[in-house]
């Protein structure tokens, strides 16, 4: 089944977790991916929160697969900043392989952040954000 951003935002947290758990890691891609934060999934606030975040906070990520790094596109101008290492490893959610976006050695600002992504459709990834070991929010990336 192919998914889109609106379908993900309409899902409950349990449905998002189930989709993540049944998905494969996929390949580490190169290039720019548009991002959407999924906060308060399946509520009337989800789309409005995502729109504000996309406009003023976070627009997505730019991957360099050869270097195993990415930069986040942030602020209203899409500045590329906040670097993460990118590699495959076990998910904290279910122990199966995922693509890890690890900020622990590359960012003072996001030192405690770890993202995990899995492929849910062609060029379309679902992600989980952790602060330490606490799960915060979900997000999606479209290449």
Q: pLDDT tens-digit profile of 30-77? A: 999 999 999 999 999 889 999 999 888 999 999 999 999 999 999 988
Whether 88 and 28 have beta carbons less than 8 Å apart is answered as yes
Q: Contact 8/16 with Cβ under 8 angstroms?
A: yes
CA angle 112, 114, 116 (to 5 degrees): 170
Report the distance separating Cα 60 and Cα 72, nearest Å. Answer: 6
- The full set of domain ranges for the chain reads 5-142
15: Cβ contacts below 8 Å, ≥ 6 apart: 41, 42
Read off the pLDDT band of 109 (50, 70, 90). confident
Task: Say what the pTM is.
Answer: 0.95
Quick one: DSSP state of residue 105? Answer: T
Those residues whose C-beta lies under 8 Å from the C-beta of residue 137, and which sit 6 or more positions away, are 37, 38, 39, 129
The pLDDT, as a whole number, for residue 10 is 97
């Amino acid at each position: 089944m192919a998914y889109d951003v609106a379908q993900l935002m309409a899902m409950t947290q349990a449905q998002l977790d189930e989709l993540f758990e049944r998905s494969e890691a996929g390949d580490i891609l190169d290039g720019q991916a548009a991002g959407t934060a999924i906060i308060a999934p399946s509520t009337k606030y989800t789309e409005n929160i995502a729109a504000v975040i996309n406009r003023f906070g976070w627009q997505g990520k730019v991957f360099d697969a050869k270097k195993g790094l990415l930069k986040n596109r942030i602020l209203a101008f899409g500045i590329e900043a906040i670097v993460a290492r990118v590699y495959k490893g076990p998910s904290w959610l279910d122990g199966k392989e995922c693509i890890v976006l690890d900020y622990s050695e590359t960012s003072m600002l996001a030192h405690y952040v770890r993202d995990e992504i899995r492929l849910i459709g062609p060029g379309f990834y679902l992600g989980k954000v952790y602060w330490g070991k606490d799960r915060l929010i979900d997000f999606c990336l479209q290449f």
